[in-house]
Amino acid sequence: MTPPVRPAECFEPALRRAIMRVKPEYFSWSPEAQEKYHLSMPDEDHFRIRQTVLKGLFQIEVATEDKMEAALAGFDNARYLLFNGTLLPVMGIGEDCFHLCEHLDKQTLLDFDTLHDYDHADHESQEQARKDEFPDYAPKPYRGSLHYAWARLREDRWGVLLCQFVHGRGVHNLEDRRAR
């Protein structure tokens, strides 16, 4: 299935400026190439996009990842949701901009047929990491339920509703912008 072409209006002006600064050719790519970039974005691009959005939305300038994390640590939920919601079109995949805030080395969500397949691979990877760090650790069997990983998505067509949740625990943050 071909990913949807995201209309320009789903990109906040701060995000459009950031993308044009970091990867000017982005908007000429196919939807498939854009989604691949979302999930395998180089760390430097990721930082520079976030840096530009932070400046565009909040007039906060940072030069390092540590300074960015310090600035974000001072955010309340509303500002953090605005920041994350603005970034979703370039971080997530699919029509709802689904984004898992976890990753498996060189694999991405696009490498799996289902979210279950991703979760199973993530479980195996986490258990192996524990075993590597603690040789006496007995790996736990996969139980078929998602671990507590952060995910973000947009529902109700291009950002009217932004959800953040932890798998297995339900909705953590929910912002409905229709009321505004």
Q: Has residue 155 been placed in a domain? A: no
Which of the residue ranges 34-38, 105-109, 131-135, 159-163 has the most confident prediction, judged by mean pLDDT? 131-135
The one-letter amino acid at 19: I
Q: Has residue 59 been placed in a domain? A: yes
- Say what the pTM is: 0.65
Q: Has residue 57 been placed in a domain? A: yes
Tell me if residue 146 falls in helix, strand or coil.
Answer: coil
Between CA 8 and CA 32 the distance in angstroms is: 17
Q: How many domains does the chain have?
A: 1
Contact (CB, 8 A) for 10 and 159: yes
Q: Has residue 62 been placed in a domain? A: yes
DSSP secondary structure, 94-139, as one string: TTTTBEES--BTTB-GGG-SSHHHHHHHHHHHHHHHHHHH-TT--P
pLDDT score of 19: 95
Give the C-alpha distances (Å, rounded to integers) separating 71 from 31, 42, 50, 76.
Answer: 32, 22, 12, 11
pLDDT score of 8: 57
pLDDT at 14 > cutoff 60: yes
Structural domain containing residue 64: 8-96
The two tokens of residue 17 are: 């400026």
Q: Has residue 125 been placed in a domain? A: no
Q: Has residue 19 been placed in a domain? A: yes
